A and B are shown apart, each in its own frame.
Chain A
């Protein structure tokens, strides 16, 4: 059996691009290294075009990697997200980061990891992709090496990340030990054929969930997130909150949909508990934050709670204890839509924060006072993204939240939805506090903030995407529908 390696063209190309940038870094003069970012951006754009043109369905290595509409959606997502994060880090890197080539090279490796995660259909492949993502991020988080906070967060992230990886690995070995397979589809088959769940198997799954919970920063595995977010260089914070989260969600979604749906009655309660805790702690924790990075860290924990809520509602348990997957597609739609909307919105928020930081070097919330006078455009984007995160129309955050909550409600979990909406009301308070700083408070400094044209374009695109995602979502939903159907078939 020959493998059709053309399926992997985008991944090969991204790897090549990363190496190209790393090796260019050796040869070009210090001054010209500022152009490396554009090599990356143009490279990713070309790869994006190739991915769109050459896409075919298929599997590789006897099903270790699966390429379907789901993979493709996330591939496109990561390529676009990568372009956004590269462009928005340009100025920041120019003034704050010494080793530019390595920064961009490693960043592109994490993009690759995200693409692989969405296509991996086997536990070890998934684990390796996850490690590729994590290792890249360990380095990037500590990249601002003369900054104590960056160092601290690097160490914290490495230690806890390694711990969670160990948990995942231990979980996987337990699962393999009992079931004799690590492939998602075979796990699913094995699980339907056995009657009682072996305690080691349960232990394995619990460890696996806990490890993935670390990566998703689900409560009670969330404590690293605020510190790491605060210490990391800003573009990396953005990438942590978007890239790594979406990558993990794309893996979790495939894992649950392809192998765990049948035993939904066993894990539903666990995920519900995680989701409730995550929603509550994330949103309550954000209330008291003074630093915008920490605030956004807690806010993204809260948002992961909503995603987990969706995961827990992938199946509904009938009264006789049997599992119904009638509405699964609807819920998957909801989760993917929510993740994409979250990514767009969070990017918009972070990129505007980056633009402010590039000018002022400050990132506490009170430094945003009077921003509407200093840069009406930045404050417009930031306030729109705050409203979107809080789930107010006409932004993507509202529509996606409504869709997801509606789907969860359709699985007879209306009480969970009610709790979700209440926590989203709590979140409105702290999002409004930022709006208040920008529009109502008077700032000490009134010098206008200069925004570079590349960031301006990125923000414009994100703002439009936020509004289209909220006001005209059906084209996006059509794509998502294809992806969900691919996942469930």
Chain B
């Protein structure tokens, strides 16, 4: 039971980060039907900027409370990421809005290569380790441990998602975004400035990405210039799982993907332990007697789960769990 609960907690933590990143994908997709492939790199830039600031502050002002230091990191990362997000839209996507579908995807790949290698130039090849400023607080729930950082990550994600929902459904800007997503042409006839709405969408997505970058960096204790690619792919999978273009779907998909991944990593080793089937051959019995286990697929396959989920969802329910629009307008 405690393994299950522990993996559930870990999964929900990672899942909240995926959910926040997935929101960035899904918002952009909902509005202009574009997979912003470079979104993962924006997350990475957020983490790198925040870590640089946090490192500098922790070194210069060791007396500051850790919360203030981390918040300063976030405060630095958000504007930088927003600028990056805006530039992405302006330089790479806007000129191609009416081009064939694959064209913006290819520029997106180009931009993510550029961002990754700019980060490599600025921060070098070595990963940045998170300074040990946050005291490790562990709380116990029903035989499983949950750390202060994990609680903070979940809380912050929930607050951000609630804020975003309020913005989308309660403000004029949100209404403009929804109108554009519904039908950009008609929205523009109703006086919605489409270009502005799209730019704002990118800005919001990038701001979320910045916070997500800090969260994921703090959680795993490390930031690296290649961290964006896999994270982006997983978050995209989460968005697809929930139904791309659907905000609630992205949140649900993110949490679900996190949990599936964690439970998968927690149990796959046990499930694929060949010693359960050692009756099959004598050689197996011998090896099991010697090693105790003969695990075919261990937790080192964790990253495979996200892709498996992605493929399975696309095959069996391409519109995702909550998506209503079956996308087939090539």
Chain B associates with chain A: no
Residues of B within 8 A of A (CB): none
